[in-house]
Structure formats: structure tokens, C-alpha cells
Structure 1
Amino acid sequence: MDTTTAVIDLDLPGPRISRHVYGHFAEHLGRCIYGGFYVGEDADVPHVRGIRLDVVEALRELAIPNLRWPGGCFADDYHWRDGIGPRDERPRMVNSHWGDVVEDNAFGTHEFMDLCELLGAEAYVAGNVGSGTVAEMSEWIEYLTRADDSPMAALRRANGRDEPWKVPFFGVGNEAWGCGGNLRVEQFASLARQYSTYVRDHAGNEVYRIAAGASDGDLHWTEVLMQSFGPLDGPADAAAPAAPFQGISLHYYTFTGTWQDKGSATGFTEDEWYLALQKASFMEHLLTRHGQVMDRYDPARRVGLVVDEWGTWWNVEPGTNPGFLYQQNTLRDALVASVHLDAFHRHADRVVMANIAQTVNVLQAMLLTDPDTGALVRTPSFHVFAMNRPHHDADSLAVHLRDVPEREVDGDALPLVSASASVKGDAACVSLTNLDADAARTVVLDLRGRDVVGHAATVLTAAATSSHNTPDDPAAVAPAPLDSVRAHERGLEVTLPAHSYVTVTLTLG
């Protein structure tokens, strides 16, 4: 068995990995909200004010840091006043993007903020630029966060909430290049400045405003948005925050086919296994290129990059509504997640938040709920997020890999080992992914700068690359202790099983 070496200087911490790169996304799409998070107050499933309790408990295991809502494409059709007040008096609307179904607005602002409080998560509210108005957005942030007797604060109290909420993140539009208005970036840059100006800080609530950014490799979109700022070349510690918005987004999805036929979630070949992981690895390139554009205008890195939609997008499960985007979640999805998270760790100096799409029952979900039995299933992707909790708000550590095997995929070289690491106090965590579908791999952790006085390791793998969890077999892909960690003259030696994800936690002296 060949050996890869990972050199890690434990005493040289780098930029902090924000816990917010482990954020999530909940759109009014399929069974994400209705039947996922929200079952209504008359449901037989255990709930708190209509919010499904086992979903909340499972997500609290992940220490979910933030939740983005109400979209997505849905956000630019959503008018927040339709989702407040008595539920039986709320107007209906057509969800034209996702299944052309009628939305009754039973889950609105109060229900979402209640959900965030139950989760212990911070709210990331996405505002409507596509079909909304500046006044509508301005009044929404006032309704949410103002404490006195302003018109919107009084309206909130009339609807049953006395104290304002904290809303630290606010999205100014979504996919303005597509479903959010089909705008040119020059048009949107002006709108982003205008709308952001009216997303005001009320009652001590400081808002981090995120303008709708690029899709995939559209560097021109990023450049025009960066040009719309004033001077950003002063030192970060001496300069005011970027204004009028503070972050820009980036969206990128992983699939192996075409937009019309994206590939099966479970019935894939070995070539498609590698192609998916190569597509996932492209995130590194995107972060580098968009970061380079941002660096030209913002060398102090006062503007954050927010990857608020990412993950796998496969064909829907046979027999399900094609507009509901319900797909299974296999070990392949878990490794797509680990590769992305490694990239976010490496770019912690610029990537301030990321939101996997989506949390429940849609795309690369953390959780699947069975509509017939009511069962809740934790997916393989859920377990990657759980295993990575030590990285939350830890300082990144550079990992220098040597002798990494590669495979040619679609004309490019795919490294078959991915890694990242972080340190927090007297603890460190090393994440290791073996992308090889068939062969195990030995990795020597060359640990320098601090003494390692203890270690433990966890592995996520399964019998087959397409293994996935179901109500009948909820632990087909589940974490387990890894005993193939041995002392080595340079530190530790770890054997990674084929198609596996491993975390090694270190106790430092």
C-alpha cells in the first residue's frame, strides 16, 4: 500500500474557520418546510408549535450555526406580509418555481424565527429584490428587529411578538442573473447598493448584508460587484466595514450529467463516482479565482464571500414530483461534502459563510422524513457535518500533502486524498478523505510544533459507494471508531479505507 504524507505545523495557526461555513438552507420547496420542518399544530408527529421536534433535535446535534430562508428562487416571489397574522387569514400564492403548487403561507416570519430559536441558529433572511420593493425590504428588517413603537414594531407586537429578534444576516436578492430577475450585473449592482442602504441596523441589531453574487465561474459578475464599492484598500483593522453591503454570494452545484439529466443519485458507475468528486473539487478553483478578483479591489478582505448554495443536484427519486427535488443521499454525497468543506477551510480568510442546499428532503439534505411512516433518517452528509464539529470557529492549519495519488477524470487530474486541519486551544482536528473507490490508503501525519499526548479517530464508510440510509436501514452509512491509527516516528500513521472519510482528533500538550 502506497503512503501519502501530510505535514502539519500545529503551532502555526492560520485564519479562523467560521462556524458559519457549516450553515444550512431551507426554501419553500417540496417537503423542506411543509412535511420537513413544519407539520402544523394538529399533526400526530411530536412537535413544538407545529415545528417537528425530532428534526430540531437532530439538527442541534450538528450545532447548526445559521439557517437561510425563505429561498432561493422562492425568495424573489415572496412578500413577507403574506406570512404574518392569523394563519387562516393569510393570503395564498403560487409557488411557480417549485412544482407550481399553491402556498398557503402557514409558515412565515414568526414561525421561521421560532424555528431558529429552537435550533439555536442565527437567522439568514433572504429579501425580495426580483419582485419586491425597497420599502418592503426596509419594513421587513424593521418588523424583525426594531424595539420601540415604530409602525412595524407595533405590527409585530399586534401579531404576538413583543421583543424584537436578532437577525445578523440579510440577503439582498437571490440569483439576480436568473430566477431573481434575469438582470445584467450592471443593473443589479446599482439595485444592490440601493436596497442594502435601506436594510438598516435597528435597536443594536447589526446586519451583515449579502448581495446576490455569481453563478459558478462568472468572474465578471464578481468584478462588477466589487467595483461598486467605495475604496477598500485600507487596513482591515482600521477601516469601517464595507458598505452598503458586506458580502457577496456564490452558487455552485455538483452533478455529473447535463442540466436536463443530472444523473442518478444512487445508480451511478465508477466513472460517475470519480466525475462527481472531480466536479466537487472544482470548488477549490472557484474560490481561488473569485478570491483573486476580490483581492484586486479588497486586499484587506473586508468583503466576505458567502457560498450560500452548494451541494449535489441529481435527478429526483422515481415516482416523486419533479418540482420537489427529492433525492437520495449516498456515501458519494458525503465525500462531495467533505471535499467542499476542506476547500472552505483552506479559504477561511475570505469564505465567511456557506449554506448547503438543502436541510430536509431537498437536494443534498441532512435529513429525510418518510411521509408514510413518519420516520426520520440521518443521511451520510449529516454525519460528515457532525464529525466536523471540532472545526467550528477553530483556527485553520495548513496541510502540506506529499505523494498524493491521482486519477485522470474528464481530462483533469483528480487528487485521491483531500485533507484539512484546525486547532482550538489544546485540541486539533484533521480531516482526511480517501476518494479512491477501491483501494485503501496510508497517510502519515507529520505533526510538528506541539506535542501530541492523545488521539482518537472516526471513520465514515460503507460496503458500497452507493450505500445510503433508509427507514428500514438507517445506519447503512454511519460513523464508527477507527482503530487503524498507529504511532509513527513523525507523528501518527492512519490507514484510510477505500471510499472513506476520517477525522482524527488530537489532544495537544
Structure 2
Amino acid sequence: MTATARAVVDLDVTGPVISRHLYGHFAEHLGRCIYDGFWVGEDSPVPNERGIRLDIVEALRAVNIPNLRWPGGCFADEYHWRDGIGPRDQRPRMANTHWGDVIENNHFGTHEFMDLCDMLGADPYVNGNLGSGTVQEMADWVEYLTRDDDSPMARLRRENGRDEPWKVPFWGLGNEAWGCGGTMSPEHYANEARRYATFCRNHGGNQLTRIAAGANEGDLRWTRALMEAVNCLGCTKDDNPVYQAISFHYYTHSGTGINTEDAAGFTDDQYYRTMAYAAGIERIVAAHVALMDAYDPRGRIDLVCDEWGTWWNVEEGTNPGFLFQQNTVRDALVAGLHFDIFHRHARRLTMANIAQTVNVLQAMILTDGDSLVLTPTYHVFEMNKGHQDALQLGAHILEAPSETVGDEELPLLSFSASVKDHRALVSLTHLAAHDDLDVSIDLRGRAASVARARVLSAESASAFNDPSAPDRVAPTPVEAQIDDGVLSVRLPAHSFATIELDLA
């Protein structure tokens, strides 16, 4: 069965820039994300440069990775950065009590992370320890990384082999302060964030975007407390806020909670409930944005979703604390749906970080020894990379099928569009589990021709890639044509597609 949908793209009506940092990533000392993921060590038979796995670097450079958040997550608030500098064989060990209760040897620390970011061409997002650390400890870390003179921390950095300071544009003031980061109240954390942010200095030419740890999903108490800590409702203060962004986290599941169902074995009902939960992030973003607009109509403080993605049961036979899960077409469609929503809110939402990059939760890449698998979610990032730093275009659905999920209607088509350098990119996420969809898009305002059209799908929404079939789910060409200004494409069931348009 084939359904139909109609939509409009205004090619001459542009909105805000879709920040490339909405396509950010997250690497925590969790499971096999860092060790046996990014870091294999200099003596590994796996091809590496200074211990960093080269095929992962190559794969992430291909999706134009814009930033990488590290060292956590929950791990950040028990991490003491001085343990991760100096000769590796002299670094103290610690217990990683959050993730598997394993022993962390601190072989991957500050210099290794900054080396990784240099190799990736990605901006570092360092998450400081507010939960179990001190203001002085965090201030010293900023100085160690970014100061260029004869200060104590700059001298210490030089003693450890790095003469020039690094550029560190993003700095997290703790993580999930409502939970693993300290079990604080919103008001208590807001005061702590303001205090810590004050002592995280801009050294030399390095300008920090200080990111306050905000809500779990739609808990607006956190956003309100953080906004009130730097402004008051209706005020017109001229001073700049001490932190420049507020974060929130949103994990997708099928409605029964994180870590309660399998990644690859699911029913149609679970599939649709997952899509409905993923779509719910739009309501959450809109609520945070509305509250921030009331306190900060000039838009000085950004909204950041620095943890998002699906969270399923771990794969059988793996350490439950390592959060290793399979990655299917369903996960890829969750990503496509999220990006459409992120694009629509690009005025205030300026960064997002999928959890996580390698071997953990909704990963881009899975490794097994010397083998590397690109997941379906990875391909969504690659197909969508043309949206990075492009101008949002008006994109409107006029008619589309829907599915009843609980008490709500879930639209089965989501899409967004952007323009950059006389080329537009249209992304389409088709959520129907079994039916194809004929889509007609009225292209208004400028003449266009199809440059390339690709689709990502498989026989089943539960299909995934593995070492025996690494390209089971991979983008393939799809026929798309423009006739009298109308773009037409047929989308298979449970698919994600991108269409690149050359504009006259």
C-alpha cells in the first residue's frame, strides 16, 4: 500500500542559521567508548596514531564532526583532571563507580582528548567537575588548557609537553546536577553554577561558552531557576550573564522507561510508541525556549541538548554497566526526527550531542577488535551534514498520513530544509512501519534541479549492521524529479531520505 503526502518549501524564505554544533557528539569514560573505542594505545595492532584509533577518526571526519563532549556525563563529576596528565605509567588509578565499577587507569586524559579533537577537526567541549570537585580545581583546568604565559598552570602544561595553549570554546559546569551530579535542588545548583562560572576565566583570546547543567527532559524548574539566577522576568539588565547556555537531556524509549526493552526485537506498537516519544522532544524544546524568551528576549543565553538518543537494554552477554546496544533503522529514524525538530528551533537551540559516539547507547560506530561498523544512525549524520551552518528554510506539511499512538496522532512524515551556497538540502523522515509514501513538495521562490537523492532503509525497521553485513543498512540512490516546480519522490516504509537541490 502506498499513501500520499503534500508539502511546501519556500526556497526564498530563510530563517536562522542551523548551527553545525547541533550535530555534536559525546564521549564518556563509559564501557568501550574511550578504551577499546577511541583509544587503543600506541602498542595496539589496530592502526593508530599516538594511541588514537585511525579508522574511527576517518569515519567521524567524513560526517564533519563539529564538537566532542568529554569526559562525561556522570563520570565528569567524579573525574579529577590532574589524575589524567603527566607520564601515563605514573597516573593514579580510580574506580569508575558509575559505569561498571571498573578501574580507570587514566591513560586517556586531557592531552589525549585534545589530541583527538585536533585529529578530528572538532571543537572540544570539556565538562568540568562541579559535583565532587572544587571551584579552584575547575579554574585551574581552564587555565591549564587555555592560558599562554608563565602562569602556574601554563608552566605545568609545558612540563607535560604542550607549549601552546589550546582553544576550548565550550565548558560544562557539571552534569545532571539533579541526579548523579550532586542530587541538588534547582536553586542550589543555580547558585553553584553562577559561582563556578565566575572563576572559569577567558584567558587570552579564548572565549568560553559556559554551559550550565539544566533539566531532565521537561523539568522547567531548572530552566526557570537558572534564568532567574542571571536575570529577572521583565528586567532589562545590560550586564552579560556569567554562563552563556543552559542544557537539558532527553532520552528516547517506547514509553516504559530507559533500559527496559530490546534494541532490535520490538513490535509495531513499540516502534510507533518510540517514534511518538521521540517526537515529544519538540514540546520539551518549545517549553524551554518560551521560558528563556520571557527572561532573555535578546537571546543572550543559548539552549543546549547535550545528551539525546535512544536507550535500550544492553546486548546479551555484555557488561550491564557498559550500555552497549544494537543500532537499527528505528534508531536512525529517531535521529532524523530529532534533527528536523532541532532545525525548527535553531534560533535558540544551538548545540546537541548524541549519546554516544562509539560503542555506547545510540552510537555512530561499533567496534569489535579490528573491525569497525558504521551504524544506521551514522548514515543519518552523513546524509544530513549539508545542514551544518546552513540557513533554515520554511518547510510546511500540508497533508500527510498519521498513526494513532495512545491518545495522540503521530504524523508519519517529518521534514526540514536548508540552503547554503546556492544548494538546498531537503530531509525527509518517513515513519510508517509498512507502507510506502508518495511525497509531493511544492518548491516556491526559486528554480531548482535535483543534484542527488538518497534513501536509507531496509527490509525491516529492526535491521542493523554488523561485521558480517556492514552495509545491510546504507544509503542508496532514490529517484526524485521536479516537474513544474513540484518535487516528487517515493519513500519506502521506515525510511530516511535526503534530496540535494541546485538552485538557480
Does the 8 A contact of 2:83 with 2:92 survive in 1? yes
Aligned residue identity for 2:419: V
- Aligned counterpart, 2:253: 255
How far residue 3 of structure 1 moved from its aligned partner, in angstroms, is 2.3
Letter in 1 for 2:391: D
Aligned to 2:448: 452
Which of 461, 468, 487 in structure 2 is aligned with 1:465?
Answer: 461
Distance between the aligned counterparts of 1:228 and 1:78, measured in 2?
27
My pick for the range that moved more, 410-419 or 175-184, is 410-419
Which of the residues 395, 400, 412 maps onto 1:404?
400
Rounded Cα–Cα distance in structure 2 between residues aligned with 1:157 and 1:447:
56
Indicate the residue corresponding to 1:271 in structure 2. Answer: 269
Aligned residue for 1:134?
Answer: 135
Alignment of 1:15-414 (within 5 A): 15-230=16-231, 242-256=240-254, 258-259=256-257, 261-371=259-369, 374-414=370-410
How far residue 100 of structure 1 moved from its aligned partner, in angstroms, is: 0.3
1:112-155 deviations in whole A, cap 9, x for unaligned?
Answer: 00000000000000000000000000000000000001000000
For 1:76, give the aligned amino acid: D
Q: Give, in whole Å, the separation in 1 of the partners of 2:446 and 2:52.
A: 46
Q: Which moved more, 1:244-253 or 1:489-498?
A: 489-498
Structure 1: distance between partners of 2:258 and 2:357: 23
Q: Which runs of no fewer than 5 residues in structure 1 stay unpaired?
A: none
Are residue 496 (structure 1) and residue 494 (structure 2) matched?
no
In structure 1, C-alpha distance between the alignment counterparts of 2:450 and 2:400, rounded to whole Å: 26
Aligned partners of 2:269, 2:6: CA distance in 1, in Å?
Answer: 27
Question: For the residues of structure 1 that align with 2:5 and 2:110, how far apart are their CA atoms?
Answer: 50
State the distance in 1 between where 2:62 and 2:45 align: 24
Distance 1:480 1:127, change over 3 A: same
CA distance in 2: counterparts of 1:323 and 1:273, whole angstroms: 25
- How far apart, CA to CA, are the structure 2 residues paired with 1:278 and 1:33? 32
Q: Is the 8 A contact 1:91 1:104 kept in 2?
A: yes
Find the aligned partners of 2:282 and 2:187 in 1 and give their Cα distance: 27
Map Cα deviations across residues 402-455 of structure 1 (whole Å, 9 max, x no partner).
111111112211110000000112100000011001111111111111111343
Query: Match for residue 508 of structure 1?
Result: 503
| SS in structure 1 at match of 2:13 | coil
- Contact 1:146-1:202 within 8 A present in 2 as well: yes
Q: CA deviation at 1:80?
A: 0.2
TM-score calculated relative to the size of structure 2: 0.98
Give the alignment partner of residue 425 of structure 2, picking from 429, 447, 456: 429
8 Å CA contact retained: 2:29, 2:71? yes
CA contact (8 A) 2:447 2:485 kept: no
Report SS of the residue matched to 1:97. Answer: coil
Question: Contact 1:233–1:299 at 8 Å: present in 2 too?
Answer: no
Q: Provide the C-alpha distance between the structure 2 equivalents of 1:407 and 1:170, rounded to a whole number of angstroms.
A: 41
* CA shift in 2, pair 1:356/1:261, >3 Å: closer
Q: Contact 1:234/1:300 (CA < 8 Å) preserved in 2? A: no
Question: For residues 396 and 387 of structure 2, what CA distance do their matches in structure 1 show?
Answer: 18
Query: Which of 405, 409, 416 matches 2:412?
Result: 416
Q: Is the 8 A contact 2:255 2:273 kept in 1?
A: no
Give the Cα–Cα distance (whole angstroms) in 2 for the partners of residues 232 and 44 of structure 1: 59
| In structure 2, C-alpha distance between the alignment counterparts of 1:273 and 1:91, rounded to whole Å | 45
TM-score, normalised with respect to structure 1 = 0.97
Q: Which runs of 4+ in 1 moved over 4 A?
A: 231-235
1:382-404 alpha-carbon deviations (Å, 9 max, x no partner): 00000001100000012110111
Identity of aligned residues (%): 60
Counterpart Cα distance in 2 of 1:287 and 1:154: 43
In 2, are the aligned partners of 1:8 and 1:448 still within 8 Å (CA)?
yes
Question: Cα offset for 1:243?
Answer: 1.6
- Matched residues in 2 for 1:349 and 1:444: separation? 28
Is the CA contact (8 Å cut-off) linking 1:380 and 1:469 kept in structure 2? yes
Contact 1:233 / 1:300 at 8 angstroms: preserved in 2? Answer: no
Q: Summarize deviations over 1:442-489 as a string: whole Å, max 9, x none.
A: 111111111113432110001111100000000000001112x13333
Does 2:2 correspond to 1:6?
Answer: no
The DSSP-based 3-state class of the residue aligned with 2:224 is helix
Q: Measure, in 2, the Cα distance between the counterparts of 1:50 and 1:2.
A: 51
Q: What secondary structure does 1:14 align onto?
A: strand
Cα deviation for residue 231 of structure 1 reads 5.9
Contact 2:4–2:401 (8 Å) recurs in 1: no
What's the secondary structure of 2:14's corresponding residue? coil
Secondary structure, counterpart of 1:11 in structure 2: strand
On the 8 A contact 2:231/2:295 being kept in 1, the answer is: no
Contact 2:299 2:348 in 1 (8 A): yes
Query: Deviation of residue 233 (structure 1)?
Result: 6.9
In the alignment, the residues of structure 1 paired with residue 365 and residue 497 of structure 2 have an alpha-carbon distance, to the nearest angstrom, of 21
Distance 1:259 1:434, change over 3 A: closer
CA contact (8 A) 2:313 2:325 kept: yes
| RMSD of Structure 2 on Structure 1 (CA) | 1.4
AA matched with 1:322: P
* Residues in 1 aligned to 2:252 and 2:258: alpha-carbon distance in whole angstroms: 14
426, 436, 440: which is aligned to 2:436? 440
